[in-house]
Each structure stands twice: as structure tokens, then as C-alpha cells.
Amino acid sequence: MNNIMVGIFKGDTLIKSFESLYDALDYADEYIGPAEAFSKEYHFLYVEESKNGLFTWKL
């Protein structure tokens, strides 16, 4: 089974991935700002890396 993570994206670009949603939320709060600032340019997606590439889907 592949490792499923939570990614923070700006547009189509993966900024950083995390093993838990809580870690992603902490990072966003500390480095990006409050939810209003985050929601303007960033979004969360589940991320899974496989031999065929990087797959993403919405939380």
C-alpha cells in the first residue's frame, strides 16, 4: 500500500506534504496565516505517490 499524505497546494503546485491533516493545519496556520488568507490562494488535497506518478484528490 502506498503512503497517503495531505498536501498543501498553491494552484497546481505542491508546496509541502504531511502525514496528518493536523500537521498540515499547523503548518498553514504558522507559515501561511489565518483561514481567510489560506483560502484565497491555497488548498488541501490528499496526495499519493506511486510508480505511475503523483495522484491527488480532494479531502
Output 54 or 34, whichever has higher pLDDT.
Answer: 34
Residue 51 has pLDDT above 90, yes or no: no
Distance (Å, whole) CA 29 – CA 43: 13
Q: Are the C-beta atoms of residues 23 and 31 closer than 8 Å to each other?
A: no
Quote the mean pLDDT of the chain: 86
Question: Within 10 A of 46 (CB to CB), how many other CB atoms are there?
Answer: 15
Q: Are 35 and 24 in contact (CB under 8 A)?
A: no
pTM: 0.80
Burial of 42 (0-12, 13-18, 19+ CB in 10 A): middle
Say if residue 14's pLDDT is above 60: yes
pLDDT of residue 50: 73
Stretch 3-23: mean pLDDT: 92
Q: What is the mean pLDDT of residues 30-53?
A: 86
Measured CA to CA, the distance from residue 52 to residue 59 in angstroms comes to 21
